[in-house]
């Protein structure tokens, strides 16, 4: 079974929430804003952009629906709840939260997800002239960083951004961002393979264990497994599976923290939706 035929994979996502999702968001009861005082804010910036316009452009619904979010006290700017519809803000310097989740407002920030094919080097340039990540971002004039790495032979989800602080936090072990992989391995798994991986084992660079492990499919001579772990050690999935006697034949990263590959086609790149960026901010405490 190919890792790209995982029967649990839902349909591909669009670049904004569906009508059903937006309707669901609009019907949610108001939450207490994360750091808001509960008072009308003085966040107004003369000459700024109307707050409801920023929310609408972030994909949170129509302008009218976004006005209702403000009136319901669900929008926070720079630590205070905003309830005035005339409020204008500077999206480049002020932080905006909806129901305690930060939304992306900085127009100069870029957040992309690529389904990396095998054979592509996880660098923005390669002195040997091999295919690299820059081949997929030539339309972006911004200098982009890749978040973490994937081996040249490993396929799947890799994030690219010019947000240096977010990139550094996502890659830092302190935040323990989980990554999920689908691996086609050689042979049948031993009965205790999953238990060994969850208990952990000593490798040459230290003790490592997986957070979750599932057998997805098994055919004569091959198995497909799913592993979730937060370790960022080099070639960690391949080394773990080698340790339990099942060398990896094909490896695909399907999830990075809250971001899911779904059925995004191989070699395709897309911008993250505002809610996806907000989930990344939340995962690393931004």
As annotated, the active-site residues are: 151
Q: How far apart are CA 113 and CA 128, in angstroms?
A: 25
pTM, whole model, 2 decimals?
0.71
Give, for 275, the enclosing helix (H) or strand (E): helix 274-283
Residue 73: both structure tokens together: 């006290």
Helix axes 164-171, 274-283, angle to 10 degrees: 50
Calculated CA dihedral for residues 85, 88, 91, 94, nearest 10 degrees: -90
Average pLDDT over residues 160-169: 88
For 231, half-sphere exposure in the C-beta direction (CA atoms, 13 angstrom radius) is 23
Q: Which of 112, 147, 104 is nearest to 282 (CA)?
A: 104
pLDDT at 42: 62
pLDDT band for position 13 (50/70/90)? Answer: very low
Mean pLDDT computed over 95-123 = 88
Average pLDDT for residues 175-196, to the nearest whole number? 94
If one compares 58 and 212, the residue with the highest pLDDT of the two is 212
**142: pLDDT strictly greater than 80:** no
User: Which residue has better confidence, 59 or 28?
Assistant: 59
Q: Is the pLDDT of residue 17 over 60?
A: no
Residue 232 Ramachandran class (φ > 0 left, ψ -120 to 50 alpha, else beta): alpha
**pLDDT single digits (tens) 36-51:** 334 445 677 777 888 9
Asked whether residue 22 carries a pLDDT value surpassing 60, the answer given is: no
Beta strand 248-256 pairing with 155-161 = parallel
> Pick the residue with more confidence: 251 or 53?
251
Per-residue pLDDT for 130 more than 50? yes
Question: Is the Cβ–Cβ distance between 129 and 91 less than 8 Å?
Answer: no
Read off the pLDDT band of 178 (50, 70, 90).
Answer: very high
Question: In this predicted structure, which of 41-45, 199-203, 207-211, 223-227 has the lowest mean pLDDT?
Answer: 41-45
Indicate if the alpha-carbon torsion angle 104, 230, 144, 115 is positive or negative: negative
Question: What residues have CB less than 8 Å from 247, skipping those under 6 apart?
Answer: 185, 186, 238, 241
The values of phi and psi at residue 180, to 5°, are -115, 135
Q: What is the pLDDT of residue 141?
A: 66
**Among 1-5, 143-147, 235-239, 261-265, which is the least confidently predicted range?**
1-5
Mean per-residue pLDDT for 125-148? 85
Write phi, then psi, for 263 (nearest 5 degrees): -105, 25
């Amino acid at each position: 079974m190919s890792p790209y035929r995982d029967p649990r994979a839902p349909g591909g996502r669009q670049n904004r929430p569906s009508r059903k999702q937006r309707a669901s968001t609009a019907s949610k009861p108001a939450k207490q804003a994360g750091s808001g005082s509960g008072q009308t804010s003085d966040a107004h910036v003369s000459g700024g952009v109307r707050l409801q316009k920023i929310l609408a452009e972030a994909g949170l619904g129509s302008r009218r629906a976004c006005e209702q979010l403000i009136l319901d006290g669900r929008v926070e700017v720079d630590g205070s709840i905003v309830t005035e519809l005339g409020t204008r803000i500077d999206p480049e310097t002020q932080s905006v939260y909806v129901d305690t989740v930060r939304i992306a407002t900085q127009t100069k920030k870029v957040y992309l997800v690529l389904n990396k094919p095998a054979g592509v080097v996880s660098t923005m340039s390669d002195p040997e002239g091999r295919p690299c990540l820059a081949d997929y971002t030539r339309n972006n004039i911004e200098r982009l960083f890749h978040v973490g790495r994937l081996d040249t032979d490993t396929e799947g989800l890799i994030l690219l951004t010019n947000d240096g602080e977010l990139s550094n936090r996502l890659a830092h072990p302190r935040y323990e961002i989980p990554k999920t992989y689908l691996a086609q391995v050689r042979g049948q798994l031993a009965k205790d393979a999953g238990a060994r991986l969850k208990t952990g084992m000593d490798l040459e660079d230290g003790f490592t264990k997986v957070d979750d492990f599932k057998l997805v499919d098994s055919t004569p001579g091959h198995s497909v497994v799913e592993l979730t772990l937060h370790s960022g050690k080099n070639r960690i999935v391949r080394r773990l599976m080698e340790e339990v006697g099942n060398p990896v034949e094909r490896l695909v990263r399907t999830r990075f923290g809250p971001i899911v590959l779904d059925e995004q086609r191989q070699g395709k790149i897309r911008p993250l939706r505002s809610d996806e960026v907000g989930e990344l901010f939340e995962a690393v405490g931004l």
